[in-house]
Structure 1
Amino acid sequence: MPRPPARRNGRSPAASCQAKASEGSGTTRWASARSDRQWWRVNLGAARQVGRVAIDWETAYAKAYRIETSLDGSPWSTAASVTGGRGGTHVSAFAP
């Protein structure tokens, strides 16, 4: 499956960063402002079952975050809540 298009909130730096979050390269990254309430969204193009999300964090990482799903961009449901993040690779598995 090709990599899906990504979107980010308006507080993040350069718009060119948004595609780097899902392009599969370990040498690029997506960056956000250094504050709470940052978000990143992936449009899979059609309804799909998703039961796992893997995030490769760098030195900067979220200590707490949510993974939310939606069929149409509104409303959103929390699929996983993470607290105590430590960076590195984190895999969140949840019921699709």
Structure 2
Amino acid sequence: MDGVCAGAVIARDPSDRAWITWLGVLDAHRGRGIGTQLLRTVFRLLRDRGHRSVGVDVDTHNSAGALGVYRAAGMSERGTADQWQKFYRQQPF
């Protein structure tokens, strides 16, 4: 698939904390190390800007293998958090 953007990463780097905001790789291109390489590139750029660490929030039940990608890029788990949600039943009018 020449010429197709296979993946992208978005990071932010305010002076106090670098953070991976979004990482995605097209399904057809997963498993080839693209996500890991994108992360390593961002890590290098952030380090060059003076950051000594970078964080990310990720769904630990992610079916796309996100945890493996972050681990392969050298990241390690610092903690976990659960999200809570309330669904409202639709009220008849």
Give the shorter-chain TM-score range: 0.3 to 0.5
User: Which of the two has higher C-alpha Rg?
Assistant: 2
What TM-score do the two structures reach when normalised by structure 2? Answer: 0.36
Return the structure number with greater helix share: 2
Taking structure 1 as the reference length, the TM-score comes to 0.35
